Amino acid sequence: MLKTAGLDRAPMVRLGDANKGEFFTSGLEYNPPARGVWNIVHTGMLVPETHEIFACAQGCLRGVILTAAEMNALDRMSWISVSEQDMFDGTLESDVVDGVSEIIQKLPYRPRAVLLYLSCIHLFAGCDFDIIIDQLKEKFNDIRFSDCYMTPTMRKTISPDAKMRMQLYDALEPTDIDKKSVNILGNDRATDENSELVKLIKENGFTLRDITACRTYDEYLEMAKSAVNIAYLPTAAIGCEEVSKRLGTKGLYLPNAFEADKIRANMARLAEVLGVDTPDLSKQEEEAHNALEKARAVVGDTAIAIDFTAVTQPFGLAELLCSHGFNVRYIINDALGEDGDAFDRLKESHPDIEIYSAVNVNMLHFPEQEHEKVLAIGQKAAHYFSTDYFVNIVQNGGYYGFTGISAIAELISEAAVSKKDRRRLISHKGIGCESCI
């Protein structure tokens, strides 16, 4: 347990004492060396045959360019740097238009689309992004330009990640609808083929489209045909809503919950929208139960730490594991997400679970403190609890529903007995992306 006595801003709070919402006073932030979560560069690269162009200051460019370099994708990324002078001489828009034009003319290939990212300073200075896009469309009418945003300063309005997962589908335009097809939107990895979600779609004769499976730009454009759009990640919800509205199709947000009732309700809702029978999930539920029991036997009383990057509902997963007798001791999360119900129940049933901040400056030396053996679910938890026994996933790892619970239980069993190369794995930027390091 962290010694918090005397600290002005303690990075830990007992669940029983935690308020709903933000758990810690905001302040200076530390950045732990866990790199598995995708950023806007990784996400943008999901659109095939496109080129990313970033316009921003050198300091901001550096991170995005080297993200592309590490994923061996420098040939799909260009940039325009913004100087002090540019910010004040009234040329913000024309610099971007001229820069993008020059880049396109110099590229050794013709991209089908360009994702153009502006930054905080552009928006802060009142830069007219619409004019930029309009002028570029006029100059290059065979290329689709999408406005994208690297605006972390504006994160309180909409996070850059959520905005990116919305703009990812900007090029989709209303078309004839194929009623027997469905999109899963906003994911950075494919949804598990064995999941009840995918099976419900495919076994009822629907075509499933997902940007992670698109190999060409034309395949990507075909996503506009799908009659139903599904999102299950919180950062994909707003994009799903926007795309559905724009395309005149049905949008469904089916959050990736760990509670049986919610999983059943999600599947029933999807079945209703697709006009098919609600599946009987009792077998999957029983398998999930068995997988958890098996994992519990392997894990024993080992303390478990869960972080918010591994699963989108860490309190939901904690509640599920506690109900199967796991010794969940720690949750790393700075603010409550969509699992408020699970939080409330856990607060009553397990008030001694400790919630840790992922960014509080007093977490700096936490890894060096003496820790019991901890099984971590997530990279940040592995880092902070200095454990090589960890489940290496982000955003539920593409798992969903009861089958997702089974899969995660198996990963927990495996992590309990097999050490991982923590340094190598958590240093890899964007789990699932190529890496040259």
CA dist 142 and 257 (Å) reads 42
3-state DSSP assignment of residue 145:
strand
By CB under 8 A, is residue 158 in contact with another protein?
Answer: no
Strand order in the sheet with 327-332: 12-14, 354-356, 327-332, 303-307, 374-377, 390-391
**C-alpha closest to that of 123 among 157, 99, 100, 98:** 157
Kindly indicate which of the ranges 195-203, 325-333, 358-366, 386-394 contains the residues binding another protein, using the contact rule CB under 8 A.
358-366
Place of tokens 């707003």: 238
**C-alpha closest to that of 434 among 113, 50, 76:** 76
Classify the C-alpha dihedral 229-39-97-56 as positive or negative: positive
Q: Taking CA 198 as the corner, what is the angle to CA 230 and CA 233, rounded to the nearest 5 degrees?
A: 40
By CB under 8 A, is residue 120 in contact with another protein?
Answer: yes
Q: Which of residues 16-45 bind another protein (CB under 8 A)?
A: 26-31, 33, 35
By CB under 8 A, is residue 368 in contact with another protein?
Answer: yes
Strand order in the sheet with 178-184: 207-210, 178-184, 226-231, 250-253
By CB under 8 A, is residue 261 in contact with another protein?
Answer: no
By CB under 8 A, is residue 5 in contact with another protein?
Answer: no
Closest distance between another protein and the C-beta of residue 118, in Å? 12
Around Cβ 18, how many Cβ atoms within 10 Å?
22
Around Cβ 45, how many Cβ atoms within 10 Å?
22
Structure token pair of residue 410? 């198996």
Rg (CA), the chain: 23
By CB under 8 A, is residue 126 in contact with another protein?
Answer: no
Q: Which is nearer to another protein, 28 or 176 (CB)?
A: 28
Length of the chain: 437
Q: Which of 17, 58, 265, 373 binds another protein (CB under 8 A)?
A: 58
Closest distance between another protein and the C-beta of residue 403, in Å? 33
Strands (E), 368-424: 374-377, 390-391
By CB under 8 A, is residue 154 in contact with another protein?
Answer: yes
Closest distance between another protein and the C-beta of residue 5, in Å? 11
Give the per-residue contact string, 76-105, with another protein (x = CB under 8 A; - = no).
-xxxxxxxx-xx-------x--xx--xx--
Give me the residues paired with residue 250 across strands.
228
Closest distance between another protein and the C-beta of residue 313, in Å? 22
Q: Which is nearer to another protein, 19 or 105 (CB)?
A: 105
Q: Which is nearer to another protein, 119 or 167 (CB)?
A: 119
By CB under 8 A, is residue 110 in contact with another protein?
Answer: no
Q: Which of 5, 19, 21, 106 binds another protein (CB under 8 A)?
A: 106
Residues that bind another protein (CB under 8 A): 7-9, 26-31, 33, 35, 57-63, 65-66, 69-70, 74-75, 77-84, 86-87, 95, 98-99, 102-103, 106-107, 119-121, 124-125, 152-157, 359, 361-362, 364-365, 368, 423, 427, 429, 436-437
